[in-house]
């Protein structure tokens, strides 16, 4: 599935982490539910399953699929690593990089962004602070994701708890990179969190436990998509 | 596919690394060829594809499938990591650990061996020197693989270049662990290398470029399997 | 200062970590206090200060000095690493390796143990579980230290909370290495903890917060040394 | 020793790595020779010895002393790590960060830069490519060092082999950070290399084998300093 990253439509990307609720067959099931909400609401949605699940999700569900990480290497003698080629061959549209649970070296972010581009994979580079989101934007990824690590998984939304991190990051990022798509995440659990973040300048979302661990993921993702549509209406 | 690791039949395990010759569809093709030779010769064979390819190989080919690595974690908030659960759900029989291209911490070897056992996954822990092969045997994996890193990918077989590493490792390993299955690898390209190593006390093989990068992998793997059978005949 | 690791006299080794109470001039002051108690009680004592403090402590205090870690490398182009040569040149008697706060790869433990031996540095390899203490003993360090990580810094002594870890480790270690000196640590704060651990088979101690963060480190280390002497008396 | 990083005088900083020619007493000797040349020529010089040598060099030689790395942590239970506090207490003026032989995570560069600033330590953050030198400049270090890793230790000077890397980096860095001091390095062995690099926009140098492994380090560092003076004359 392809995605025009230059569009201004909000993107809602659900990171499956290694949650048991989103492993194996459950990864396909959850991806399908998310895709259905995306279809119904017209909001662009994506999922980032575990490596072993990328292929089946991409094959069975009409949804954007991102790997959670790739290693900065060309094919070769690299046992136990994740080549961008393997992720591409499995049908992924792109990959996350430098998530706070899988931080990598500066030079490796750059190499992986460059290799991904050569292979036609989109990149979402995560960073946790204002300075570092701007810094990674200079490495020319397709998207950056602002995620203050101290809020990840807390249910305390970055857009409410640390609105300045979003506005300051957006301003600093734009000073150095006018086109990179800006996602945000950490603690987001309601449509209101989404709406507020869009108002602050976010253009998309990287969300994990807020959806995956919710008692009713469909209700949550619907809430998110409706908030995104409400914002799009408003800003016309 | 299941495997009785306590049997004394030689095992030939082909590590696909991140070689382009064994990525995506080519992983399935190569696994199928290896499986056919295994079937024809009656020698137990297995493959270790990349994470993204584990599921399709396990689903489409009747062969032992090992992951190349797993991370020492329970399911949870671990973006970009490889849970044993995901590998198991993808249909793997087991996993490599601590390959010289993906070395891990001592404590993580132990944790991963223990988690794999809980999930019913076999473990092959690699080490490169006599002392370390014995040491990892105390962590109670199902198999250990002796691989002097300086010979990996060279075509100079460990069984010819460093026979003492095999005999010394076998002796030291048996002093501390009487049942762990002992594989060896590094530089093996011919049936003679296989035969020699079996005589030195190896009970199986971990092989990569010798098969994957060969002009005719089927010929090589056939050569290996015939040598294994020749040895089994001899030792009856 | 030299140390006969084959003697059966208890060793009490105080790890300064990166505690501010034991950094810079305070490292020398604390080492001096510990040395004085050692002298007075006749118990062998040592300290493991930060890299930057090794030289001044070794130069100014008559005490065994251990580095907290060394990297497994020969001299060369390795910016930001800790060569065994630099530690030796600074006057250290030995080094810790694989502390739970600085775990390293199995192969690197082996390389560092071997390099240290070439340079005449003693090694204390730490491990946290029964299986791993036995495994590291096969790498032939001079000493091993059993430290269940979950008790480190808790004040709940390993000798009281997990006596089985000590007795089982001692038994397993002795099966594979009859001469390695066996230290233990984690949560030790009183002379009773010391006495109990010696009865369980420990031959020395690796202690950090119990001394460094104590309101009166001299009182604590004196308590430890007296307990060690009491045990030595008993076992004559 | 203090240093006004905002001055436009060229800085020549010699990285001792873990070279045996610059370990222990030899670190002090080499630092003294470098300091003497600096004094004689009036060029600002500095050295980056190993951790164990920082204190003695800073105590005995009137020269800028940088650590080769610090870890991004506050004092505490961090065995085997390098606290900025320990480096400061040892008398260092600053520290290198992210050298290509000791690369660190983006977030850790930022944390270490911020901690160093709190303690009054200068930071030199290294990076190897145009994009990454600009990116690290956004993390607000005092200095950045451009070092294409493929030229380090080759004797093929970055200023001759890859002049575009310098000019492009300088331009990109200045777009995002007008004040950071820009060093360069890799392959520099002659005064001409220095002169050329200064013309291309470099304001200082990070040099290792070119000095440390030279048959006559004094001659080389004198050559460098004279070239720096020649350039300063020219540009008046």
Q: How far apart are CA A110 and CA C16, in angstroms?
A: 38
Candidates D18, D217, D65; CA nearest to C88 is D18
Beta-bridge mates of residue D98: none
Q: How far apart are CA B186 and CA B156, in angstroms?
A: 8
Residue with tokens 């309101």: C215
Candidates B84, B91, B88; CA nearest to B1 is B91
Q: How far apart are CA A142 and CA A4, in angstroms?
A: 10
Q: What's the length of chain A?
A: 236
Candidates B83, B86, B85, B87; CA nearest to B65 is B87
Alpha-carbon distances, residue C217 vs B45, C64, D68 (angstroms): 61, 18, 33
First to last CA, chain D: 27
**Residues of D at the A interface (Cβ-Cβ below 8 Å)?**
98, 100, 103-110, 127-129, 131-132, 134-136, 138-140, 172, 175-176
Q: How far apart are CA B98 and CA B118, in angstroms?
A: 19
Residue A134 has pLDDT above 90, yes or no: yes
How is residue A149 annotated by DSSP?
A: G
Chains A and C touch (3+ CB pairs under 8 A): no
CB contact under 8 A, A80 and B96: yes
pLDDT value of residue C155? 77
The catalytic residue among D36, D69, D81, D99 is D99
Three-state SS string over chain B comes to CCCCCCCCCCEEEEECCCCHHHCCHHHHHHHHHHHHHHHHHCCEEEEECCHHHHHHHHHHCCCEEEECCCCCCCCCCCCCCCCHHHHHHCCCCEEEECCCCCCCEHHHHHHHHHHHHHHCCEEEEEECCHHHHHHHHCCCCCEEEECCHHHCCCCCCHHHHCHHHHHHHHHHHHHHCCCCEEEEECCCCCHHHHHHHHHHCCCEEEECHHHHCCCCHHHHHHHHHHHHHHHHHHCC
Q: How far apart are CA D86 and CA C50, in angstroms?
A: 7
Residue B147 has pLDDT above 90, yes or no: no
Q: How far apart are CA A22 and CA A221, in angstroms?
A: 15
Residues near D173 by Cβ (< 8 Å), separated by ≥ 6? D133, D134, D137, D144, D180, D182
Both structure tokens of A28? 């396909």
pLDDT digits (tens, 9 = 90+) for A149-182: 777 777 787 778 888 888 999 999 999 999 999 9
Q: How far apart are CA B131 and CA B207, in angstroms?
A: 22
Among left, alpha and beta (phi > 0; psi -120 to 50; other), residue D76 is left
Question: Predicted confidence band at B126 (pLDDT cuts at 50, 70, 90)?
Answer: very high
Residue B151 has pLDDT above 90, yes or no: no
Three-state SS string over chain D comes to CCCCCCCCCCEEEEECCCCHHHCCHHHHHHHHHHHHHHHHHCCEEEEECCHHHHHHHHHHCCCEEEECCCCCCCCCCCCCCCCHHHHHHCCCCEEEECCCCCCCEHHHHHHHHHHHHHHCCEEEEEECCHHHHHHHHCCCCCEEEECCHHHCCCCCCHHHHCHHHHHHHHHHHHHHCCCCEEEEECCCCCHHHHHHHHHCCCCEEEECHHHHCCCCHHHHHHHHHHHHHHHHHHCC
Tell me if B47 sits within 8 A of B30, measured CB to CB.
yes
Tell me if D61 sits within 8 A of D88, measured CB to CB.
no
Long-range contacts made by residues C229-233, C-beta under 8 angstroms, separation at least 24? C229/C41, C229/C42, C229/C43, C230/C191, C230/C195, C231/C10, C231/C194, C231/C195, C231/C198, C231/C199, C232/C9, C232/C10
Candidates A83, A211, A148, A16; CA nearest to B78 is A16
pLDDT digits (tens, 9 = 90+) for B160-180: 888 888 899 999 999 999 999
pLDDT value of residue C145? 96
Residue C174 has pLDDT above 90, yes or no: yes
List phi, psi (to 5°) of D81: -100, 170
Per-residue pLDDT of chain D (236 residues; tens, 9 = 90+): 677 776 778 999 999 999 999 999 999 999 999 999 999 999 999 999 999 999 999 999 999 999 999 999 989 999 999 999 999 999 999 999 999 999 999 889 999 999 999 999 999 999 988 899 999 999 999 999 998 877 777 778 877 888 888 899 999 999 999 999 999 987 888 999 999 999 999 999 999 999 999 999 999 999 999 999 999 888 87
Count of H-run helices and E-run strands, chain A: 10, 8
Full-model pTM: 0.92
Q: Which of B56, B73, B102 sits opposite A18 (nearest CB)?
A: B73
Pick the more confident residue, B192 or B235: B192
- For testing the chain B interface, which of C105, C113, C135 should be mutated: the one with the most B CBs within 10 Å? C135
Residues near B112 by Cβ (< 8 Å), separated by ≥ 6? B70, B71, B72, B84, B95, B97, B104, B123
pLDDT digits (tens, 9 = 90+) for A37-91: 999 999 999 999 999 999 999 999 999 999 999 999 989 999 999 999 999 999 9
Q: How far apart are CA D206 and CA B105, in angstroms?
A: 33
pLDDT value of residue A9? 86
Q: What percent of chain B has pLDDT over 70?
A: 99
10 Å CB burial of residue B42 (0-12, 13-18, 19+) is: exposed
Give the Cβ contact number of residue D164 at 10 Å.
Answer: 10
CB contact under 8 A, C80 and D68: yes
User: Cβ contacts (< 8 Å) between A80 and chain B: which residues?
Assistant: 68-69, 96, 99, 101-102
The catalytic residue among D8, D69, D147, D150 is D147
CA distance D104 to chain A (A): 5
What ipTM was predicted for this assembly? 0.94
**Residues of B at the A interface (Cβ-Cβ below 8 Å)?**
15, 17-20, 23-25, 48, 50-56, 67-69, 73, 75-83, 85-87, 89-90, 96, 99-102, 152-153, 208-209
Candidates C25, C22, C212, C55; CA nearest to D89 is C25
Candidates B70, B66, B71; CA nearest to B91 is B66
Q: Which of C100, C105, C172 sits opposite B103 (nearest CB)?
A: C105
Beta-bridge mates of residue B185: B206
Tell me if B139 sits within 8 A of B159, measured CB to CB.
no
Question: Predicted confidence band at C154 (pLDDT cuts at 50, 70, 90)?
Answer: confident
Q: How far apart are CA C25 and CA A91, in angstroms?
A: 59
Candidates B173, B232, B171, B226; CA nearest to B199 is B232
Q: How far apart are CA D2 and CA D122, in angstroms?
A: 9
Give the Cβ contact number of residue A10 at 10 Å.
Answer: 24
Comparing A124-128, B125-129, C110-114, D6-10, which segment has the lowest mean pLDDT?
Answer: D6-10
Question: Predicted confidence band at C1 (pLDDT cuts at 50, 70, 90)?
Answer: low
Residue with tokens 């070794």: C58
pLDDT value of residue D1? 63
CB contact under 8 A, B83 and A50: yes
Residues near D124 by Cβ (< 8 Å), separated by ≥ 6? D13, D66, D94, D95, D96, D97, D141, D142, D143, D144, D145, D183, D206
Q: Which of B106, B131, B176 sits opposite C132 (nearest CB)?
A: B106
Q: Where are the alpha helices (DSSP H) in chain A?
A: 25-41, 51-60, 84-89, 106-119, 130-137, 158-161, 163-176, 191-200, 209-212, 217-234
User: Cβ contacts (< 8 Å) between A127 and chain D: which residues?
Assistant: 106-107
Residue B72 has pLDDT above 70, yes or no: yes
Q: Which of C127, C172, C175 sits opposite B106 (nearest CB)?
A: C127
pLDDT value of residue A236? 75
Question: Predicted confidence band at B218 (pLDDT cuts at 50, 70, 90)?
Answer: very high
10 Å CB burial of residue B18 (0-12, 13-18, 19+) is: buried
**Residues of B at the C interface (Cβ-Cβ below 8 Å)?**
98, 100, 103-110, 127-129, 131-132, 134-136, 138-140, 172, 175-176
Q: Which of C104, C129, C135 sits opposite B135 (nearest CB)?
A: C135
CB contact under 8 A, C138 and B139: no
User: Cβ contacts (< 8 Å) between C20 and chain D: which residues?
Assistant: 75, 85
Q: What's the length of chain B?
A: 236
Question: Predicted confidence band at C183 (pLDDT cuts at 50, 70, 90)?
Answer: very high
Catalytic amino acids of B? 99, 147
CB contact under 8 A, D79 and C15: yes
How is residue A129 annotated by DSSP?
A: S
């Amino acid at each position: 599935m392809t995605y025009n990253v230059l569009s201004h439509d909000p993107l809602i990307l659900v990171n499956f982490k290694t949650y048991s609720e989103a492993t194996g067959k459950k990864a396909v099931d959850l991806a399908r539910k998310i895709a259905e909400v995306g279809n119904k609401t017209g909001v662009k949605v994506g999922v980032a399953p575990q490596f072993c699940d990328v292929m089946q999700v991409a094959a069975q569900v009409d949804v954007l699929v991102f790997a959670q990480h790739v290693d900065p290497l060309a094919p070769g003698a690299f046992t136990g690593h994740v080549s961008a080629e393997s992720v591409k061959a499995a049908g992924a549209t792109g990959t996350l990089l430098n998530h706070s649970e899988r931080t990598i070296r500066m030079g490796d972010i750059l190499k992986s962004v460059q290799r991904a581009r050569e292979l036609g994979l989109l990149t979402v580079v995560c960073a946790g602070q204002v300075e570092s989101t701007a810094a990674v934007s200079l490495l020319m990824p397709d998207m950056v994701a602002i995620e203050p690590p101290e809020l990840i998984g807390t249910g305390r939304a970055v857009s409410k708890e640390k609105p300045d991190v979003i506005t300051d990051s957006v301003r600093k990022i734009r000073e150095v990179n006018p086109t990179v798509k800006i996602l945000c995440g950490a603690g987001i659990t309601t449509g209101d969190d989404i709406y507020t973040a869009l108002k602050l300048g976010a253009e998309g979302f990287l969300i994990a436990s807020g959806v995956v661990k919710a008692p009713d993921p469909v209700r949550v993702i619907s809430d998110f998509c409706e908030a995104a549509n409400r914002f799009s209406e408003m800003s016309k």
